[in-house]
Every structure is written in C-alpha cells, then in structure tokens.
C-alpha cells in the first residue's frame, strides 16, 4: 500500500479482481479510482502487459506508451461502461489493442524517477543520483564507495541525497550538524561545526541533494567522516553546469570560504542556564513533508 493515495479497500479490490487482461479490464473491475489507476500507469504497473520499456531510445510505431495509457483512461472516464466486479471485460480487454497509439513520446527515465519519488517515496527505475553522474565526475566528486581510499585531512567533495540530519545539543551551548548523504554507492557522513554552520545551515536543512566540501577524518581502519567546510544545492549546480559554467562551479566549490558567504541570521534563544539554541535547530523545508527512502545498505539514515 505504498502508492500515494491508495486506500486499503482499493488494495483489497485490486487483489480480489486479479488477473486483469488489460487497462480497460482493470478500470472496469479493479474497484479503484481514476487517480489511483493513473498513478499505477505512471509507476509502470502495466508496462509488462503492453511491452512498454521507457529505457529504449526508440520504439515501434505500433508500440503504446505510458502516455497512451493515460489518454485511454481519460477516454474511458468520458464513456464509462459498467461491468460487474467479478466479470471479465471481454469486449475491449484481453487484447493490448484496447489502447490506441496516440503518437505521444514516451516519458523519460528521469521523469519516471521523479514520479516514483512523488508517488512511492522511493526510486525504482534508477537511483536519483544517476542523472548527475557526469557533472559529479567533472567536478571530481568522490563516491562514497571510494572514501576508504582517502587519507586523513585530504580535501574532497562528496555528494548525494540527504538521508538524515541530526543536531544534538553539545556542551557549551553550540550545535553540531551531522549530515548523512547517499550517492547510490553507499552512505557518507559530514559534520558541520559552528564556524561553517551559520552560512551553510540554510542550504543543508532546506536542500534535498547536496554537494559538500570538507576534510577527511579517519577514525580507525574503516571509519571515515568529513569535516565540512561548505555545502551547495546540487540542482542549482546542475543548472549552472548545463549553462556551460563548469569553470565557475569549480572555482566556487574549491575557493568559497564560509566567511565570504552571505549569512542569514535569526533570533537566538538563550536559556537561564546560558545555553543558546541555534536558530537553525528546527529548520524544515517549506511545504508538506514526504517520505523519501534513499539509503544504501548500511546507511545510518534508515
């Protein structure tokens, strides 16, 4: 029941009506609403039945697409046919020709990933970071799987989807921000101390995909963490890269200092004990919360 908006009753109806011979059959007997049927189409629930493969650059002129299925749902909604929940819809179902080819282009894999994140809360088609591999390679970003090869105090860049942030209270009233990223090869951990927390906290707390600069800290044979000295929103860097500004990005990532960043300050709550609460302690992104499960095996953000 992970599909966004689906009810337990609709899940039970779908299971009870199996098997389905086509989209029309599922529409007639599935006992689900139109939005849920559209969600299932967007998530590829009918791909195998109709031979759809969104990863193929080209497709036969007779091959239907997910867009065609969505168009057909619109047509069925306008011209409903009532069929009993236990009766197969033989008039149009049972044959993939029940969905005409409209000629609309297939959705892209990147678009499919965004849809999966919105409707499922996880990426199925591919890891969301796969779309940024070329940019990250040009910037010399170190994959999480290669962190063990880095030596102590080496300055590197890491990147990934934000899995978790923690801001535990520490003695002295200051806060340390612990950030966990996942780049598809594994998790990486970065620590933002007070000297860099203020200029970059807004980016860390309100961004979903990040590039972080920092120095490697080795703690034992397999213990690796990053003492962060900067953080940038990956989507903004990607747009800048696509505009041909790779040199400007490199200059910024390598030479931007915390004291040169425009700082956004807020009210600081001081308790009678002298403890100061960071203005960023409870910062959350704008808008409704959602569940995003981006964690590789062994990630501390699970």
Residue 3 inside a domain? The answer is no
20/108: higher pLDDT: 20
Say if residue 32 is in the same domain as residue 136.
Answer: no
Q: Which residues contact 207 (CB under 8 A, 6 or more apart)?
A: 162, 231, 233, 234, 235
Give the integer Cα–Cα distance in Å for 87 and 157: 59
Position 82 scores a pLDDT of 59
- Looking at the fold, whether 118 and 188 belong to one and the same domain comes out as no
Compute φ and ψ for 285, nearest 5 degrees.
-60, 150
Cα separation, 73 vs 99, whole angstroms: 9
Q: Quick one: 28 and 117 in the same domain?
A: yes
- Do 117 and 152 lie in a common domain? no
Spatial separation of the C-alpha atoms in residues 54 and 111, rounded to whole Å: 10
Residues 81 and 187 in one domain: no
Q: Per the domain annotation, does 234 fall within a domain?
A: yes
Same domain, 109 and 155: no
pLDDT of residue 286: 47
In angstroms, the Cα distances linking 291 to 35, 163, 260 are 20, 11, 35
139 plus 249 within the same structural domain = yes
Compute the distance between CA of residue 245 and CA of residue 239 in angstroms, rounded to an integer: 9
104-120: per-residue pLDDT in tens? 778 777 777 777 777 77
* Number of domains making up the chain: 2
| CATH code for the domain in which residue 202 is found | 2.40.50.140
Task: Answer whether residue 283 is part of any domain.
Answer: no
| Contact predicate 209/162, CB 8 Å | yes
In a domain, 151, yes or no: yes
Does one domain contain both 148 and 182?
yes
Give the tokens for residue 224. Answer: 């690796």
Q: Strand pairing partners for 99?
A: none
Q: Percent of the chain at pLDDT above 90?
A: 32
Query: Does one domain contain both 140 and 29?
Result: no
- Evaluate whether residue 302 is within a structural domain: no
DSSP 3: S
| Residue 40 within any structural domain of the chain | yes
Query: What count of Cα atoms within 13 Å lies in the side-chain half-sphere of residue 61?
Result: 0
* Beta-strand relationship, 187-192 and 224-233: parallel
- State pTM to two decimals: 0.62
Q: Does residue 208 lie in a domain region?
A: yes
Evaluate if residue 262 carries a pLDDT over 80: no
Q: Residue 300 falls within a domain, yes or no?
A: no
For 165, the 3-state DSSP assignment is strand
In this structure, the answer to whether residues 65 and 161 fall within a common structural domain is no
Q: How does pLDDT run across 129-184, given as a tens digit for each residue?
A: 888 999 999 999 999 999 999 999 999 999 999 988 988 877 766 788 999 999 98
Whether 253 and 230 have beta carbons less than 8 Å apart is answered as yes
For helices 34-42 and 66-78, angle between their N-to-C axes, nearest 10 degrees: 170
pLDDT of residue 123: 67
* Helix or strand holding residue 155 (H, E): strand 155-166
Continuous segment of H or E residues that includes residue 277: strand 276-277
Do 79 and 158 belong together in one domain? no
* Mean pLDDT of the region 199-213: 91
Helix, coil or strand: residue 225: strand
> Of 101, 124, 147, which residue sits at a domain end?
124
Domain that holds residue 247: 129-277
* Among 124, 148, 172, residue at a domain's last position: 124
Q: Among 75, 105, 124, where does a domain finish?
A: 124
Give, as one character, the DSSP assignment of residue 17: H
Residues 135 and 270 in one domain: yes
Note the pLDDT tens digit of each residue in 22-38. Answer: 899 998 888 889 999 99
List the end-to-end C-alpha distance of the chain, in Å, as a whole number: 20
């Amino acid at each position: 029941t992970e599909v966004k908006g689906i009810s337990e009753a609709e899940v039970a109806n779908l299971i009870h009506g199996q098997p389905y011979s086509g989209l029309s059959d599922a529409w007639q007997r599935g006992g689900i609403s139109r939005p849920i049927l559209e969600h299932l189409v967007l998530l590829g629930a009918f791909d195998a039945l109709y031979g759809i493969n969104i990863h193929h650059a080209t497709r036969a002129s007779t091959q239907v697409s997910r867009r065609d299925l969505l168009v057909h749902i619109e047509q069925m909604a306008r011209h409903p046919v009532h069929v009993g929940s236990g009766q197969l819809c033989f008039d149009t179902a049972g044959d993939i020709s029940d969905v005409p080819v409209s000629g609309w282009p297939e959705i892209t894999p990147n678009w499919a990933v965004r849809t999966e994140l919105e409707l499922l809360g996880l990426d199925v088609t591919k890891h969301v970071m796969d779309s940024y591999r070329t940019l990250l390679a040009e910037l010399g970003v170190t994959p999480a799987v290669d962190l063990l090869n880095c030596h102590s105090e080496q300055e590197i860049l890491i990147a990934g989807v934000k899995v978790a942030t923690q801001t535990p209270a520490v003695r002295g009233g200051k806060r340390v921000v612990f950030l966990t990223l996942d780049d598809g090869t594994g998790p990486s951990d970065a620590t933002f101390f007070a000297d860099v927390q203020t200029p970059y906290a807004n980016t860390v707390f309100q961004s979903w995909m990040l590039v972080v600069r920092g120095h490697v800290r080795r703690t034992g044979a397999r213990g690796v963490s990053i003492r962060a000295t900067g953080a940038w929103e990956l989507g903004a860097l990607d747009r800048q890269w696509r505009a041909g500004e790779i040199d400007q990005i490199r200059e910024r990532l390598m030479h931007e200092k915390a004291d040169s960043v425009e700082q956004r300050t807020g009210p600081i709550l001081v308790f009678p004990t002298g403890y100061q609460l960071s203005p960023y302690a409870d910062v959350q992104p704008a808008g409704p919360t959602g569940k995003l499960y981006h964690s590789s095996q062994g990630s501390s953000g699970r």
